[in-house]
Chains A and B, each alone.
Chain A
């Protein structure tokens, strides 16, 4: 089974509106971390937000928030007040356990296009 599933290959959103990018995960570990990265066309991976499995509150970072539904194993990214510069690929990732050797599993990504 896939560790991380992103079911939206592409999304469009109007500038200044909010958008939700879906992510579900699969793990039997109790300790894990969930991440969202942005990858613009230049290729670099930009860290956006992190949610630990034991965090009771949803993570927020500026215009980014993570809607963490532990029972559903979902970690959707919400971008509020979309900007043109938000157009990029977005990857959801998970790291199982807290050991430094634990790998990151990435989803297939969602390409977000923000329309003016």
Chain B
């Protein structure tokens, strides 16, 4: 199946700094990618839909200025958590669609200290 690579898998950052997470589709082109956030023992919550060459569509309650999404190419979407705070600590996971299937990255565990 298709491969989606997410990097980094783990990151620890200081409060107030920004962190960038990359999501790459390795063997297919993805015009649409999705970013999810998952709290411990909970389901995936969709944060935003990333569309190549246009602005991301954010879900209600997700701060656009806090979670910057860039989808500059057909194989790369990035999520930048700006001015991170401890409450931003979470598991972030991206997915890309190929036809009817969604393929997920390995996820990024962000810890803000």
Contact = CB atoms under 8 A, between A and B. Distances in A.
Determine if chain A interacts with chain B: yes
A100 B44 contact: no
Nearest to A6: B43
Contacts of B101: 35, 47, 50
Interface residues of B, number: 24
Given A33-B100, A101-B32, A43 B43 contact: no
Interface residues of A, number: 23
A3 to B, nearest CB: 11
Contacts of B80: none
B31 interface: yes
A106 B51 contact: no
Nearest to A46: B104
Given A100-B32, A104-B95, A47 B103 contact: yes
Contacts of B42: 108-109
Interface of A: 33, 35, 37, 42-45, 47, 50, 52, 91, 93, 95, 98, 100-101, 103-104, 106-109, 111
